[in-house]
Structure 1
Amino acid sequence: MSKKRILYVEDDETLAFLTSDNLEQHFEVIHANNGKEAFLLFCSEPFDLCVLDIMLPDMDGFEIATEIRKRNQEIPIIFLSAKTMKEDRIKGLKLGADDYLVKPYSIEELILKIEIFLNRSQKTSDNSNQKQYVFGSFHFEPENYLLKKETQKITLTEREASLLQLFLDNPNTVLKREKILMELWGSDDYFLGRSLDVFISRLRKIIKEETHVRIENIPRVGFKLVVE
């Protein structure tokens, strides 16, 4: 079986060498040391996952991710950064990234994250006949991250689409925060919990005019999608 192809972007030569050397034991790694080179590679070659440093010359990681998401809503993206501010982590996740690891990171954790997101991506691509959902006046196509209502079309991020699908697969059921975080991120740390609140808030704004559909807070437990 051919190895999965990883686009790895890092301008620190020593760190790039060490990380690439470890990743190459499991994946085919294509390394770029600046943003423009990385974006050109992404546009010209197929990849299964992107690992992006944020502080890069020419284009930073956020800019690369924005351009990637314009062209591909499905490919997993993992940010690596020395920036520890929660605003940066939330910004990265809102751009459609799947995870955000803070330097210095564990190479074992990075490999585990990559494997989790590659497996999830493979399951999604294998399921070509994914079911579609109708709730209230919305029609939801999870494989296209598309939410339609009459003539309105809303494109969700991959994370928002996964969250909505999780709710719709469990209507009128309390979902614990830990379960949601493990399903979507494979981790339930504090910063991902804050990011979850951001995605919940966005979904609420989208469905706020639906009188028979709402996302309820269950204090100290989690959330419930109520469909009446």
Structure 2
Amino acid sequence: MLQETRSRLLVVDDDPELLQFLLDEFSREQAECIGAINGTEALQHLRQSRFDLLILDWTLPDFDGIEICRRLRSSGDQTPVLMLTAHDDLDEQVQALDLGADDYLTKPFELKELHARVRARLRRGHVEKAEQQSETLSLGDLSIDVLSRAVRFKDKALSLSQREFNLLHFLVERSGQVLTRQAILEGVWGAPFVGDPNTLDVYLGYLRRKLKQQGSPPLVHTIRGVGFMARVDETQP
């Protein structure tokens, strides 16, 4: 069995027979498995749901696995990625790892090795998830309890919608970093983002208003021509 708790895997491969084989194999290991035959379908699944591991073929009919990794990481999505490929070139392996893949396995592979790598990555992921769930983020006098999704400024609770919380969490988790509009939209609303980019301004307005009502100084700053940053302005009293 992969884990005591049921793991969720997204398997992406353009070979229907291999895809079905892998889905059957990991389903027998008590994992919940979803399959995709191209990058577009894979990104749709990743927008709509969370997975413990993405098993990703390098070569896909619409765009390659490297592009999927790039889009995931640029949007802030940290879903672990195990890349499968027929390429054994060292430079390509380095490229995959540099762009966000967590592990790399060359085809043809031994099934036992694939299972071992999946188990290892899932164990690591569950430990990281438990650590994240117990984490409290803070920015100045603002605190975010990640597990309970509770937000407080000093001793005052902030009532936020799900989207407002997700946006605030995304920004505070990356406090001190300049984030582009596209990175925030894809990280909070899903990649690739489809819709009106001004949606971000609307929700930033909601957040800023609610923080101000609680007496908070500005915490989300516009970096003109670049994007936005969450930080405590040291010039504030």
Q: TM-score range by the shorter chain?
A: 0.5 to 0.7
Match of 1:77 in 2: 81
Say what the alpha-carbon RMSD is for the aligned residues. 2.8
Cα distance change, pair 44–92 in 1 and its aligned pair in 2 (3 A): same
- Which of the numbers 13, 18, 25 marks the counterpart of 1:15? 18
The TM-score normalised by the length of structure 1 is 0.55
Number of residue pairs matched?
141
CA distance in 1, matches of 2:118, 2:68: 18
Letter in 2 for 1:81: T
Letter in 2 for 1:90: V
Q: Offset at 1:74? A: 2.9
What secondary structure is seen at the aligned counterpart in 2 of 1:39? helix
CA distance in 2, matches of 1:71, 1:7: 18
Match of 2:27 in 1: 24
Match of 2:205 in 1: none
8 Å contact kept, 1:4–1:48: yes
Q: Offset at 1:130? A: 6.7
What secondary structure is seen at the aligned counterpart in 1 of 2:28? coil
Match of 1:96 in 2: 100
CA distance in 1, matches of 2:81, 2:126: 14
Q: Offset at 1:62? A: 0.6
8 Å contact kept, 2:11–2:22: no
Q: Offset at 1:106? A: 1.4
What secondary structure is seen at the aligned counterpart in 2 of 1:46? coil
Give runs of aligned pairs for residues 173-212 of structure 1, distance below 5 A: none
Structure 2 gaps of 5+ residues are: 137-169, 180-237
Q: Which has the larger radius of gyration?
A: 2
Match of 1:33 in 2: 37
Structure 1 gaps of 5+ residues are: 132-143, 156-228
- Which of the numbers 57, 76, 84 marks the counterpart of 1:53? 57
